[in-house]
Amino acid sequence: MATGTYEAWTTRGGGDTERWVGTSAADTALTISTAATTPAAGPPVVRRLLYVTVPYSATPTQAGVTVVLNSGAGGAYDTILDTGAANEEDGVYEPTSEIRILPGDTIDVIAPAGGGVITSSIAIYTERL
């Protein structure tokens, strides 16, 4: 798994909106993860998952994009939050209830290979609480 390229913005309300992004090579599976939120010092960092986008460069042949909460409490607590529709070209996952990302947790997004010359791009949007 790769931690995607990270960007952050401070909003007027003082919170930080964050984005992790990555793009696959042609016909290659891609997994992007948020960074684990366990700081070496200082207060713990807690985030909220806002949404995930996964567009493919053309209509893919794939089983569906998977969004996983990878728990810092251990593998027994990992949870699949969503599996998108097979062959979906423009996928969006927006939680219907609040998903908090606690210290040690990550959100992992797995985009299967799309076939041929098709690429995928993953963007994970979070907010620091």
Q: Is the pLDDT of residue 17 over 60?
A: yes
CA count, 13 A, side-chain hemisphere, 45: 18
Average pLDDT across the chain, whole number: 90
- For 27-39, write each residue's pLDDT tens digit: 999 999 998 766 6
- For 55-91, write each residue's pLDDT tens digit: 999 999 999 999 999 999 999 999 999 999 999 999 9
State CA 19 to chain mean position distance.
9
Q: Residue 62 burial by CB count (10 A; 0-12/13-18/19+): exposed, middle or buried?
A: buried
Say if pTM beats, i.e. exceeds, 0.85: yes
Return the sign of the alpha-carbon dihedral for residues 76, 110, 2, 4: negative
For residue 100, the surrounding DSSP H or E stretch is strand 100-101
Query: Domains plus CATH for the chain?
Result: 2-35+45-128 (2.60.120)
